[in-house]
Structures are given as structure tokens and as C-alpha cells.
Structure 1
Amino acid sequence: MECITWFAPILPGKLEAWKAVDAEMSGARAADYKRSRERIGMTREVASLMQTPQGDFVCLFHEAEDLAQAYRSIATSDDPFDVWFREQLVELHGLTPEMLQGPPPAQLTFDYKAG
């Protein structure tokens, strides 16, 4: 199992829109979100809001058997939820599908696990 943490900026003026999308993914779109993550092989995804003097960020933790494949799947899927999700990535974070087609968007430098 692979895991990674990374940050994505919430573009200036987009915080309320980000909060609305976050609520939508755990509300009206929850079933579609769950199906999407199961389909791409994502076993865990955690998102946290971090507000700093440099701006707002979403802090992400992702876990999957193959993270690069999971990201490629999100970037290329024609599933309606995945298409909508990619549109949100561009609009709220400035992340394009091309940015997700390579290795995970962060480099793992340290990983401690008990046991």
C-alpha cells in the first residue's frame, strides 16, 4: 500500500466555493464519490483545510495500492463524477488533469509506521 501527503492551494477568492464542493462530496455526491474512489483504487483520502498568512490550502492524504495509477485514472476517466471533480480541481486549485498523469504530485521523503 502506498500513501502520500500533499498540499494544493485554494485559489484566492475560492474558499467558499471549495467549502461548498467539500460539503457536496460528503452530501449530495457522496455515493458517486465513493464509487469513484473504489473504481480508481483509492483506499483512503483525507482532506483538511489549512489557512495560513500565505493563503488557504487543502492538505491531502491519499492511500492506494498504486497511487500513480489512481491519479491517472482520475485525470483520464470519462465517468461523469470524475469529469465534474476534474473541473473542480481546475477551478478551485488550478490543477490540470495533465498534472495528475505522472507520479503523485509530491515526493515522499519520510514514512514511519509502528509495528
Structure 2
Amino acid sequence: MGYLVRAFPLIRPVEELQAFLAALKAEKSADAARFYGQYGVTQEIAYLQDLGPGKKILIVVTVLSDAKEAAPRYAAASEGFHAWFKQQILHLTGVDPNVAPLGPPTTEVFNWRAE
């Protein structure tokens, strides 16, 4: 298992993000569970960070088995829920999952662990 950490600019109102997340937990929860399972995702956590007036970023941490293996399959997927999910990400953040399936490029720059 590994962690995939990304920060997306939020370019739409927070209420639109909240509606998307609410749909994932309610009416689209069964689809979301199948979707995440297809890519080996065991957990996904999202944080919203306020950087000042009009500037918010969505920080997403995903725990999955193999991001490099899942990324091309996710980028190529076009069936119903996949298309809806990717359209929501593009609309909310401006990041196209078909082009950048792992989100904006991220580089780990620090990792501290208690011994």
C-alpha cells in the first residue's frame, strides 16, 4: 500500500465541492465503492485549505495498492460513473484526470517518523 497525495486548486464555490462529496456519500455511494475498488483504493481523505481571500486548495490523500498501475486505467476509463467523476474533478479544479490521472505533480520533500 502506498499514499498518493495531491493538492488541487478549487476554482468553483465550496458549495459545489460539498455537493459532489455529498453525492459520493449518498446516492452515488455504491458506484463510488465499486470505482475505488477497481483501482485498489482502500481509503481516500480530502482536506480543504483556505489560503486567503478567494484561494482554496483541495488536498487529497489516497491509500492504494499501486498508483502507477492504476493511473493509466483510470485515465482511459470512460464508462458512466468514471466519466461523471472525472467531469466533476475537471469542473471543480481545472485539472483534467484524463491528462493527469494522478493529479497535479507532487514531490515528497520531507518525511519524519518516530523511531
TM, length-normalised to structure 1: 0.83
Aligned length: 113
| Distance change >3 Å, CA 4–CA 109, structure 1 → 2 | farther
1:90 and 2:90 correspond: yes
Q: Deviations over 1:57-97 (max 9, x none)?
A: 11111121211222323221122111101101111100111
Cα 1:111–1:31 change in 2 (3 A) is: farther
Equivalent residue, structure 2, for 1:49:
48
Counterpart residue identity of residue 92, structure 2: L
* Residue 52 of structure 1, CA deviation: 1.8
Q: Distance in 2 between matches of 1:99 and 1:29?
A: 24
If each structure's helix is expressed as a fraction of its own residues, which one has the higher value? 1
Contact 1:10 1:93 in 2 (8 A): yes
| 1:4-43 equivalence runs, <5 A | 4-11=4-11, 13-43=12-42
Residue aligning to 1:70: 70
Give unpaired runs (5+ residues) of structure 1: none
Q: 1:100 maps to what in 2?
A: 101
Stretches (4+) displaced over 6 A? none
How well do the aligned residues superpose, as a CA RMSD in angstroms? 2.2
For the structure 1 residues 52 and 38, does the alpha-carbon distance in structure 2 shift closer, same or farther, using more than 3 Å as the test?
same
Find the aligned partners of 2:112 and 2:67 in 1 and give their Cα distance: 18
Secondary structure, aligned partner of 2:95: coil
Q: TM-score, structure 2 length as denominator?
A: 0.83
Q: Residues 11-32 of structure 1, C-alpha deviation per residue, up to 9 Å, x if partnerless?
A: 0x43211111011111111110
